[in-house]
Structure 1
Amino acid sequence: MNQEDEVEPTPPAGSVDDDARAVRRRSGETESSRANRGWWDRNADEYQVEHGPFLGDDRFVWCPEGLDEAEAGLLGPASGLPGRDVLEIGAGAAQCSRWLAARGARPVALDLSHRQLQHALRIGAGFPLVQADAGALPFPDGAFDLACSAYGALPFVADPVRVLREVRRVLRPGGRFVFSVTHPIRWAFPDEPGPEGLSVAASYFDRTPYVEQDETGDAVYVEHHRTIGDRVRDVVAAGFRLADLVEPEWPDWNHQEWGGWSPLRGHLIPGTAIFVCDR
């Protein structure tokens, strides 16, 4: 699609900045990176206030459904974590890295946003914090045993294969990368937690990015859509083997709403897709 849609789209995740207009249009690597760095720097405080209690300071939560790594073991058994070098991509306040460190791993928490990493420092981090773009990881080949990303980086980049290849490069042979993203089916539905979010409103096959832009037309937030098939092909194109694709069901204990995620929707359609990739 070369022109902006005439219909104002609803956000697939997150919320529109004040005075920003939501559109569907192309957005390349440079614009997407610049916009999302600025968005997370501006919104990190609000994000941590709103979602920090659910995420905890040292829990490893994969998604709004509340799937916990302690239960899921997607990175492997916890008994195998001591001494392992682990890269967390899109770490935010580094809650996942803190959980990993408590189990004897040696994590490095990386995020595009300086403000998010300041929250990691506020909570406390006895491990390296690195501000960098996931598409250009500042690490040598084979530096890590494991890598993980809970809703970090991949939903926000124009070239996911570039990121996946970078992750594969810094993993040692036999390493594993696990990442979670918004389930692609949700792009066909309005981002609403109630009944109004249960009717298809857009084409699942429309890959046009969701963009929030200011009055001059500059992007202030960008999110990119890939179908399930696209994600699988991206993983394979980067040289990984897809070991598992997890679609967490909504648990009965979770009564919270998070943007368009809710118990109502979660019991009917998947909200998260988690890809388990082996090098």
Structure 2
Amino acid sequence: MISVSSRANLGWWDGNADEYQVEHGEFLRDSGFVWCPEGMDEADAHLLGEVRGRRVLEIGCGAAQCARWLVTQGAQVAAFDISHRQLRHSQRIDLETGVRVPVAQADAESLPFAGGSFDLACSAFGALPFVADPLAVLREVRRVLRPGGRFVFSVSHPVRWAFPDDPGPRGLTSDRSYFDRSPYLERDESGAVTYAEHHRTMADWVNLVVASGLSVTGLLEPEWPEGHERVWGGWSPLRGRHIPGTAIFSCANI
């Protein structure tokens, strides 16, 4: 049964996918693997290692820009997202670029793939920040990975939750407890949840990965690069010089 958070975010992303792709599509590129608003690119970072000939799953793919780049690198790729409208943008880009990505509509808490189907899994801000039960997602990822497989995922850096989501000076002054795990919720006039994003501390994320049976093999906190002036929501050059915006976890199915 789909959770309240998943149902809310399905509706939100279906309603906002067009605007999102217009606003961020150029930065993400039709075929490009950008890990975060800081602009870290997999082509340079090589967090997934060699992908040619590997079976790779992208989790929460949006319009599958990352998955499409993986296809161009010789990977055998499958991708999914909860939003049908985002996947329609994936199909549009397939037609425009001639690079096709097999996509499915699915909830990350219950993956429609057989156990041990993939060598690698990846997620660039997909699914994990938005689900109420991240342990269920991580356990599903472990299930579909072969023994020795790897999973790399990026999320908002937990410390950001102690600050207003403001790219300006206001966003540099903490106004809430880092340890307050209350989710950020938006509601309609009837009180129904229409958007949900969940906070976990850094320790929470590490413990969730371990509890799933995966192991943490690496952690990156990308620094804001010189010359990068793009503002994305609460991410900005001003804030990026002072606090980390993204955490990227590398995990192994040992």
- Sort the TM-score into its range (normalised by shorter chain): over 0.9
TM-score by length of 1: 0.88
Residue number in structure 2 paired with 1:120:
90
Residue number in structure 2 paired with 1:130:
104
In 2, the alpha carbon distance for the partners of 1:253 and 1:85 equals 35
In 2, the alpha carbon distance for the partners of 1:215 and 1:126 equals 40
Equivalent in 234, 244, 251 of residue 260 of structure 1: 234
Structure 1 residue 127: Cα displacement: 2.7
CA RMSD, Structure 1 to Structure 2 (Å): 1.0
- Alignment partner of 2:170: what SS? helix
Residue number in structure 2 paired with 1:43:
16
Residue number in structure 1 paired with 2:29:
56
In 2, the alpha carbon distance for the partners of 1:106 and 1:176 equals 15
Structure 1 residue 253: Cα displacement: 2.4
Paired residues for 1:228-247 under 5 Å: 228-247=202-221
Structure 1: runs of 5 or more not aligned: 1-27
In 1, the alpha carbon distance for the partners of 2:3 and 2:230 equals 35
Post-superposition Cα deviations, 1:3-28, rounded to whole Å, max 9, x if no partner, equal xxxxxxxxxxxxxxxxxxxxxxxxx9
Equivalent in 95, 107, 123 of residue 65 of structure 2: 95
Structure 1 residue 241: Cα displacement: 1.0
Residue number in structure 1 paired with 2:243:
269
In 2, the alpha carbon distance for the partners of 1:230 and 1:29 equals 23
In 1, the alpha carbon distance for the partners of 2:129 and 2:196 equals 9
Structure 1 residue 126: Cα displacement: 1.6
- Alignment partner of 1:134: what SS? coil
Structure 1 residue 155: Cα displacement: 0.2
Residue number in structure 1 paired with 2:39:
66
Structure 1 residue 109: Cα displacement: 1.2
Q: What amino acid is aligned across from residue 105 of structure 1 in structure 2?
A: A
Equivalent in 125, 130, 152 of residue 151 of structure 1: 125
In 1, the alpha carbon distance for the partners of 2:184 and 2:91 equals 31
- Alignment partner of 1:88: what SS? strand
Structure 1 residue 254: Cα displacement: 1.1
In 2, the alpha carbon distance for the partners of 1:196 and 1:209 equals 21
Same amino acid, percent of matched pairs: 67
Equivalent in 192, 213, 227 of residue 166 of structure 2: 192
Structure 1 residue 29: Cα displacement: 6.5
In 1, the alpha carbon distance for the partners of 2:2 and 2:93 equals 31
Q: What amino acid is aligned across from residue 257 of structure 1 in structure 2?
A: V
Post-superposition Cα deviations, 1:61-115, rounded to whole Å, max 9, x if no partner, equal 0000000001111111xxx211111000010010001110001001111100000
In 1, the alpha carbon distance for the partners of 2:117 and 2:240 equals 37
Structure 2: runs of 5 or more not aligned: none
In 2, the alpha carbon distance for the partners of 1:142 and 1:214 equals 41
In 2, the alpha carbon distance for the partners of 1:109 and 1:163 equals 15
- Alignment partner of 2:186: what SS? strand
Q: What amino acid is aligned across from residue 217 of structure 1 in structure 2?
A: G
Tell whether the 8 Å contact from 1:29 to 1:159 is kept in structure 2 after alignment: no
Equivalent in 26, 31, 53 of residue 83 of structure 1: 53
Residue number in structure 1 paired with 2:155:
181
**Bigger RCO (CA 8 Å, 6+ sep):** 1
Tell whether the 8 Å contact from 1:29 to 1:157 is kept in structure 2 after alignment: no
Structure 1 residue 178: Cα displacement: 0.4
Tell whether the 8 Å contact from 1:106 to 1:127 is kept in structure 2 after alignment: no
